[in-house]
Amino acid sequence: MTITTTSELGQTIRNRRTSLGLRQQDLALAANVGVRFIVDIENGKETSQVGLVLRLLQALGIRLTAEMSPVPAARSASEESETFDPDNFTPS
């Protein structure tokens, strides 16, 4: 599953919590975080502490992995010559 937004992360956490039959209070206790944190993360709040998110995922048995996108190829010399240079601009 690819998660690209905080809303998607929150929905994933909510889905897992409910599938395990946990209340927000139960998860907060298991992850050693406040209930307000659970509410915020499930609602997609963007200003969550990464350490707390990782504890929450661990309590739910969710493993977080990071995949690197391919590095774009270097530009060739011919592509470089097509770059606009305002110092060498000559109007037609």
Helix boundaries (H) for the chain:
6-19, 24-31, 35-42, 50-60, 77-81
The pLDDT confidence band at residue 87, using thresholds 50, 70 and 90, is: low
What pLDDT, on the 0 to 100 scale, is given for residue 85? 61
Range of the domain at 43: 6-60
Global pTM value: 0.67
What pLDDT, on the 0 to 100 scale, is given for residue 49? 87
Please give the tally of structural domains in the chain: 1
The pLDDT confidence band at residue 79, using thresholds 50, 70 and 90, is: low
Residue 43 is assigned to a structural domain of this protein:
yes
If you search the block for the tokens 């097509």, which residue do you land on?
A: 82
**Segment 11-45, tens digit of pLDDT:** 999 999 999 999 999 999 999 999 999 999 999 99
CATH of the domain at 23: 1.10.260.40
What pLDDT, on the 0 to 100 scale, is given for residue 14? 96
